[in-house]
Amino acid sequence: MSALVRIGAEPGAVTRVVILSVVGVVFALPILALIEFTFRAGLTGEHTLEHWTGLFSEDAARTYRGLFQAIGNSLVLAAVTVVIVLVILLPTMILVHLRFPRLRRVLEFICIVPITVPAIVLVVGLAPVYSVVVKVLGGSTWTLAFAYGITVLPYAYRAIQANLDAVDLLTLSEAARSLSAGWVRVLLHVLLPNLRRGVLAASFISVAVVLGEFTIASILNRRNLQTALLQVSQSDPWVAAIFALLALLLAFILLLSIGRLGRDRKTS
């Protein structure tokens, strides 16, 4: 061998193309199969647009009312979950970062724990809590957002922490305070603009996680997009596949938006 391969070396162009192609195929194949399935006409092997056009028919609104309602529920859940992340997690992380850096490891541990707990275990633990929640706030689907606020913690934490690590927030906040800014103004005019990318990433990842959640909603008997899709798929698997595709498309759009909206003015 004329040259040794260095560990950690950047892969060559060909290697990169091969890796990206393999990964691309792994991701694309099921999606392409799903798309193809939505055009199938039963088991005949023929293809049709009927399943797609059927969604826009007059009967569709009535037939799939439950599904549309579930989509509405999921969007409300996503919004409330994002609010919980922004109102509770973000200020806590900023506070720990600026004033109590020694608590960072503790906060990190707390935020990462949910990823190690299976959803079914989480639900068993949450069931008695929700019996109280129902008494206090009623049985509306949006109350699931409290549970989702916990499940999205690891993802939201990572997204925000990466941004916190990249910016010297302590010096920026001290500079702003020396320039007559109170804490609210420091937060609005200095911290949030410099944490925009992390906040958007945390929000969109939270939305993506909420739109894909099934276990908690199903076991706590709430109706969201995923539970409704399962129900619809019993009678009409094509429509379930179409809505699954649309949910996936929405998640893609959200992820692409992170890059677009998160792009700084200084780099645009």
Partner 1 sequence: MTGATVELVGVTKSFGQHQALGGIDLTIAPGEFIALLGPSGCGKTTALRALSGLERIDTGRIVIDGDDVAEVPTNRRDIGMVFQSYSLFPHLTAIENVEFGLRMRQVEKTERRLRAAEALDMVGLDKHAQRFAHQLSGGQQQRVALARALVTRPRVLLLDEPLSALDAKVRVSLRDQIRRIQTDLGITTLFVTHDQEEALAVADRVAVMREGRIEQIGTPEQLYVTPSTPFVADFVGLSNRVPAQLADGRVSVGGAVVDQLGERMPDGPVTALVRPEDIAFDAAGVPAVVVASSFLGSLRRTQVRLDDGLLLAVQHDVSDRHETGDPVFVRLKGAAVSVTPR
- Mark out the alpha helices in the chain (DSSP H runs): 13-38, 50-54, 60-63, 65-84, 90-98, 104-116, 119-137, 144-151, 153-166, 169-178, 183-185, 192-194, 196-211, 215-219, 225-235, 237-262
Cα 181 to chain centroid, rounded? 34
Residue 103, interface with partner 1 (CB under 8 A)? Answer: no
CB 262 within 8 A of CB 200: yes
Residue 178, interface with partner 1 (CB under 8 A)? Answer: yes
Residue 167, interface with partner 1 (CB under 8 A)? Answer: yes
Residue 102, interface with partner 1 (CB under 8 A)? Answer: no
How near is the Cβ of 92 to partner 1 at its closest, in Å? 22
How near is the Cβ of 100 to partner 1 at its closest, in Å? 15
- Interface positions, 185-214, toward partner 1 (CB under 8 A): 185, 189-190, 193-194
Question: Which residue of 172, 187, 245, 255 would you call a contact of partner 1, by CB under 8 A?
Answer: 172
End-to-end CA distance of the chain: 46
In the complex with partner 1, the residue whose CB is nearer, 173 or 227, is 173
Query: What phi, psi does 96 have (nearest 5°)?
Result: -65, -40
- Interface positions, 82-101, toward partner 1 (CB under 8 A): none
- Interface positions, 4-33, toward partner 1 (CB under 8 A): none
State the residues that interact with partner 1 by CB under 8 A. 167-168, 171-172, 174-182, 185, 189-190, 193-194, 264-266
